[in-house]
Chains A and B, each alone.
Chain A
Amino acid sequence: MSEAPAKKGKKKFELDPRLASYKGVWVFVEHERGQVHPVSWELMGEGRKLADMLGVELAGVVMGAPGDETRQFCDEAFRHGADLCYLMQDDILKDYRNEPFTKGLTDMVNAYEPEILLLGATTQGRDLAGSVATTLKTGLTADCTGLTIDPDNRSLAATRPTFGGSLLCTIVTLNYRPQMATVRPRVMAMPERDGSRTGRIVEHALGMIEQSIITKVLEFIPDANQDKPQLAFADIIVAGGKGMKRPENFQLIWDLAKVLGAEVGASRPVVQAGWVDLERQVGQSGKTVRPKLYIAAGISGAIQHRVGMSDSDCIIAINNDPNAPIFDFATYGIVGNAMTILPALTESFRQALATARKAG
Chain B
Amino acid sequence: MHIVVCIKQVPDSAQIRVHPVTNTIMRQGVPAIINPYDLFALEEALRLKDKHGGTVTVITMGPPQAEGALRKALSYGADDAILITDRAFAGADTLATSFALASAIRQIQKNMPVDMVFTGKQTIDGDTAQVGPGVAKRLDFQLLTYVSKVSSVLPEQGQIVVERRAEGGVQLLKSKLPCLITILEGNNEMRFATMPNMFRAARHPVKMWNRESAGISDDDLVKIGLKGSPTVVSKVFAPTPHTDPAEMIEVESGNPKDIADTVLAKMFTRFPAVAKEIAKRA
Contact = CB atoms under 8 A, between A and B. Distances in A.
Contacts of A172: 231-232, 234
Contacts of A169: 233, 235-237
B23 A167 contact: yes
Most chain B CB within 10 A, of A30, A139, A222, A343, is at: A139
A150 B232 CA distance: 13
Contacts of A292: 271, 273-274, 277
B166 A329 contact: no
A314 B271 contact: yes
- Chain A: interface size category: 35 or more
Main secondary structure of the interface of B (DSSP, over half): mixed
Contacts, number: 289
Contacts of A214: 142, 175-176
Interface string B93-107: 111001000000000
A344 B277 contact: no
A256 B219 CA distance: 64
A171 B231 contact: yes
Contact of A329 (B18, B243, B266, B271): B243
- Interface SS majority for chain A: mixed
A358 to B, nearest CB: 9
A142 B248 contact: no
A343 B127 contact: no
Interface of A: 30, 32-33, 35, 37, 95-99, 102, 122-124, 126-127, 129-131, 133-135, 137-143, 150, 157, 161-176, 214-223, 235-236, 260-261, 268, 278, 284-285, 292-293, 303-304, 306-307, 310, 313-317, 326-336, 340-341, 343-345, 347-349, 352-354, 356-357, 359
Interface of B: 11, 13-14, 16-18, 23, 25, 93-95, 98, 124-134, 136-138, 142-146, 161, 164-176, 185-186, 229-239, 241, 243, 245-250, 256-257, 259-261, 263-264, 266-268, 270-271, 273-274, 277-279, 281-282
6 A-B pairs closest in CB distance: A130-B133, A139-B230, A164-B13, A333-B246, A344-B256, A142-B128
